[in-house]
Each structure stands twice: as structure tokens, then as C-alpha cells.
Amino acid sequence: MGFARTCSVALVGVEGVVVEVQADLEPGVAAFTLVGLPDKSLVESRDRVRAAVVNSGADWPQKKLTVGLSPAFVPKSGSGFDLAVAVAVLGAAERVDPREIADLVLIGELGLDGRVRPVRGILPAVLAAAEAGYRQVVVPEQTAAEAGLVPGVSVLGVRSLRQLIAVLTGSEVPQEERTEAGRPDAMLAGLLVPGAGLGTGLAAGGRGGDGPDLADVAGQDAARTALEVAAAGGHHLLLHGPPGAGKTMLAERMPGILPPLTRQESLEVTAVHSVAGILPPGEPLVAAPPYCAPHHSATMQSLVGGGNGLPRPGAVSLAHRGILFLDEAPEFSGRALDSLRQPLESGHVVVARSAGVVRLPARFLMVLAANPCPCGRHTLHGSGCECPPSAIRKYQARLSGPLLDRVDLRVGVEPVQRADLLGRGGRGEPTAAVADRVREARARAAARLEGTPWNTNSDVPGHELRTRWQPAPGALGAAERDMERGLLTARGLDRVLRVAWTVADLAGCDRPDASHVDLALELRTGIARGAPALIGGTV
């Protein structure tokens, strides 16, 4: 009787669980049994593994073979267990030393010819292995750079099962033919899910000259100020106005003024994109904030996560540490919009299905764009809007009060004037200048919040802002009067205070005063307060 074990990783959402792959050989009729709660794609690995082992020059054991995946109660899916199953079988057949593979973590799909194909979710799988104490990982060669992002782990990238057998037995490693330059590599098909990025409107954020420039936006001083405040403090933003005023144009330029991701944030974003199958080949680490703009026909499951079996990341998770832009927001279904309430408050989404409960990261900056009515001409003088008042009220009510209460900034985007459009009104500041101010404001907030679990003003609880970091005396007078009149909720007051701190950081002040609070109230309520233009400018 032969027995061997090695390890692989099962992904549950974007978190990994180390799975022990055990192989047992007993005398009897040749058979191959796979146990341990596998799904359909994993059950089919029996045929793939058998063909890969034979075509790699090794003999398939003609005995009763049982392969167990432990812990058995964790659902296992995907083809990433193929490599571990093949090596465990070879260990049980004493083709390789079982002691050499006991502490190895192997991840990869096997082709029938023995080639090792890449799979999605390599980064979160290796992170889970490292947290469990494993230090040696074998992955497909195409994903070795992604696995190498995890510190303290020795990564071996292989192109075929033959190469891995040679490494484990101390033999000369054979050279595998590589794809010629300029020819498509079919091996990369395991990394990208067709249409996954397009279906969510996903794009990488640009920095400086790499993406659209804010200088291209004509006029819109109030909206530009709101954009800068939102980026500096991580505040959610609503842009409302007639079609063609530049709402989408402003949102598309917002990733360029966000600070680059930190190392930890990059790992979080890369892990989500790797699991979702949208991580571009050759770019193992996502360094820029993502920009996700799903179509208004998106379902609730596509926004928060879902799918058959264990849930997959949705748009809110793909926009983690970046921007979720909902254009034509009232056209989204009510269920889809209301499903955003939990991630807006908690920074994560919990999706429960019959196969299990998954917690997915979802800390994003939400930007909504909305027209004033179904035809979009309600606020334009002499525009001929024919929408009845009931239709206008019904259209605007699609954005529920509880959802809007979580939006810190609500700014009207007016039609562009001729002087601004033709260049006689002065060009707005370029992205680079605004990005520098945003970076300085974030650094000032980070220094103030050092030693706390919060990084931006939008993360700080209102109680802490009212007690630990108090504004200037009398600064909240206008906000308190609005609350007494019913114009602000308790949550709204806290959010106004957070925005005021961001305005103070952008203005270089130690704490907010009445002018900062007035600007925060104006940006939230849309009611002019005579607040001075404390930030921004034209060139």
C-alpha cells in the first residue's frame, strides 16, 4: 500500500483555504476515486491527470486509487488542484519521494500533454498558503511573478509536469518549447475570463499624462471643487444635471487625481482582480486605483457579487480601493441601488448562498450621475421639457433617501457656457496640479490619523470627530441649525463634519472653521451659502 500527501488551496470568494491532497494506493481493481466535496470541473481532473502523467513519461499505477481533499466540508471548485493531485499520485506510486512533497503547495491546471496551465486567483491562494506557514509554492510559469509578490515564500514556476518531476527527483530539467514572439499563447486563456472586464466597464486609473486630463473640462468650477474634495477625503459624490453638461467627462478624470495605491492596497486589488479573471497578463500588480463603470442594466448580483455556487466578486469588489461610477443612476433597478447601502457603510459585502457565505472587500468611492428628469431638460430654461410633474418626481425618487444620505457631496452640473467652451473663460487646472493638492491633503490627514485604524476623513466615525478632533469654536453653528430644521440627519451632520475636515486639509488649515463647514454644507445640500472658493482655480 502506498500513501502520499501534498497541499493546494481552495478559494472561497477572495480568501484561500489550504487543502491537503491525499493519495492512497491499494491492491484491487484499477479505479480512480476523488472525494472531498469536488465540483464538476474538479471531478473531471481524474481524466486530465491520468493523461498528463502518462504523456509526461511516468507510469500510471494499476491499482485502486483514492484521492481525498481535506478538509472535506470546504467546497472545492476549479481546475487548480490538477497539479497537486498528479504529484500526490506520483508520490503514492513512489515515483517521487513523498517526504519531498509533504510541505509543498501546488497550484495549476494540467493539459492532456502534461503542460501546466495558469489559473485565476494565484495571489490570494499564495497569500493563504503563506499565512498558514507554508514557504514553498509551485505555480505555472506564467503566474510566477504574481505569486512572487508574497514575501517570505519561495516560488517555483514550471511549464510542464515533466519539469516538476525532474526537479523533485533531482534529474536534469527538460526544456519546453516556448511560444514564438508575436504568436498567441493559448496557455494564457486560463488567466482571463472573456468579457469580464468589459461587462463591468472596468478600466485602470491613469496618473498625470497617462489618462484624460482635467484641463479638458470647460468651466464647471463647482463640480471640479467637489471632485477634488471627494478624491482628497474619499467622499461619495452625486453629479446631477442635464445631458451633455460633462458629468461622465468629470467622472472619467477622477482616477487621475487619486493617490497611487499603497503596497497593501495593491495586493488587495490584485487579489480581487486575479480571482475575477481580469488581471492583465504581464502586469502582476495593480498599482493605480481601478475605475469600474457598470451599465445601468446591471443586476444586483453583478453589482454586489453572485453566481452559481460560491459567489464571485461583483462591481463593488472590482472597484475596491478605486471608483465605482454609476452613470444614469436612476435607470438602475431599485434593488441594485439599495444593495449598495451595506458596502458603502462597512467597506465590504457579505453574500450568502446555499453553497456558503462569502465576505468580499468593497471599499470604494462611489460617483453617481443623474439627469433631472427622463428627458433631461427639466432644469433648462426654454428647453421644452414635456415630462409631467408626476414622472419627474417618480424619476428622482428612484435614488432612495437612505442611499442619498450616504452621499457626502451633491453638486449640480450646469450647461457649459459658450465662453468656457470656446476657450475664452480660461482653462481649468490640469490633473497633475489637482493631484498634488489631493496628495498633500491625504498626507495631512494621514499624519493626524496616525495610530488609528482610519486612513481618510471619510473613514473616521462622527463621534471621534466631535470629541477627539474638534473643529474651531462656533464652526458647526450653521450645520446645527440645519439639523434642527430637519435639513440634516444625524448621519448627515457627521458627513458634513468629515467633508469640512477634508476642505481644511486642502486649504492647509489645522482644523475646520465656519467657512469650511459652510462649503461642506453647500456641497452636500446644494444650497448656496456664500462660501468662499477655498480650493481650486484656473490657469
386-435 confidence digits (pLDDT tens): 888 899 899 989 999 889 988 999 998 888 777 666 665 556 789 999 99
Helix (H, G, I), strand (E, B) or coil at 469: coil
115 DSSP 8-state letter: B
- Predicted pLDDT of residue 180: 58
pLDDT value at 61 more than 90 = yes
Q: Which helix (H) or strand (E) holds 351?
A: strand 348-353
Lowest mean pLDDT across 26-40, 178-192, 218-232, 261-275 = 178-192
Residue 151: HSE in the Cβ half-sphere, 13 Å Cα cutoff? 3
Q: Tell me the average pLDDT of the chain.
A: 87
337-372 confidence digits (pLDDT tens): 999 998 998 899 988 877 678 889 999 999 999 998
Can you name the residues that pair with 137 across neighbouring β-strands? 105, 155
- Predicted pLDDT of residue 64: 95
Residue 206's pLDDT band, with cuts at 50, 70 and 90, is very low
- Predicted pLDDT of residue 207: 43
- Predicted pLDDT of residue 194: 53
Residue 295: HSE in the Cβ half-sphere, 13 Å Cα cutoff? 5
The three-state (H, E, C) secondary structure of 45-99, written as one string: HHHHHHHHHHHCCCCCCCCEEEEEEECCCCCECCCCCHHHHHHHHHHHCCCCCHH
Q: How many Cβ atoms are within 10 Å of 338's Cβ, its own excluded? A: 14
CA distance 403 to 332: 13
When mean pLDDT is compared over 200-214, 226-240, 282-296, 487-501, the highest value belongs to 226-240
CA distance 356 to 343: 19
Give the pLDDT mean for 374-381.
78
299-352 confidence digits (pLDDT tens): 898 899 887 766 789 999 999 999 999 999 999 999 999 999 989 988 999 888
pLDDT value at 86 more than 80 = yes
Type of residue at 477: G
CA distance 322 to 307: 23
5-54 confidence digits (pLDDT tens): 999 999 988 889 999 999 999 998 999 999 998 988 899 999 999 999 99
Helix (H, G, I), strand (E, B) or coil at 435: helix
- Predicted pLDDT of residue 113: 93
Residue 68, by phi and psi: left (phi above 0), alpha (psi -120 to 50) or beta? beta
CB 240 within 8 A of CB 371: yes
Q: Going by C-beta distance under 8 Å and a sequence separation of 6 or more, which residues neighbour residue 315?
A: 200, 292, 294, 298, 302, 303, 304, 324
Query: Closest by alpha carbon to 318, among 285, 281, 248, 270?
Result: 270
Q: Where are the alpha helices (DSSP H) in 170-314?
A: 221-233, 247-252, 263-276, 300-304
Residue 375's pLDDT band, with cuts at 50, 70 and 90, is confident
CA distance 441 to 435: 10
Query: Closest by alpha carbon to 226, among 147, 158, 217?
Result: 217
pLDDT value at 90 more than 50 = yes
- Predicted pLDDT of residue 48: 95
Helix (H, G, I), strand (E, B) or coil at 390: helix
Placement of cell 445601468 in the chain: 296
Find the Cα–Cα–Cα–Cα dihedral 452, 500, 503, 424, rounded to 10°. Answer: 150
- Predicted pLDDT of residue 151: 93
CB 270 within 8 A of CB 285: yes
Give the pLDDT mean for 100-106.
96
444-478 confidence digits (pLDDT tens): 999 999 989 898 999 998 888 888 888 888 888 88
- Predicted pLDDT of residue 208: 42
CA 479 → CA 241, 507, 512, distances in Å?
25, 20, 13
- Predicted pLDDT of residue 465: 82
Residue 504's pLDDT band, with cuts at 50, 70 and 90, is very high
pLDDT value at 139 more than 90 = yes
Within its chain, how far is the Cα of 419 from the centroid? 40
CB 108 within 8 A of CB 116: yes
Residue 124's pLDDT band, with cuts at 50, 70 and 90, is very high
- Predicted pLDDT of residue 539: 36
Share of the chain above pLDDT 90, in %: 56
Give the pLDDT mean for 246-271.
92
254 DSSP 8-state letter: S
Q: How many Cβ atoms are within 10 Å of 2's Cβ, its own excluded? A: 17
Find the Cα–Cα–Cα–Cα dihedral 274, 278, 281, 285, rounded to 10°. Answer: -50
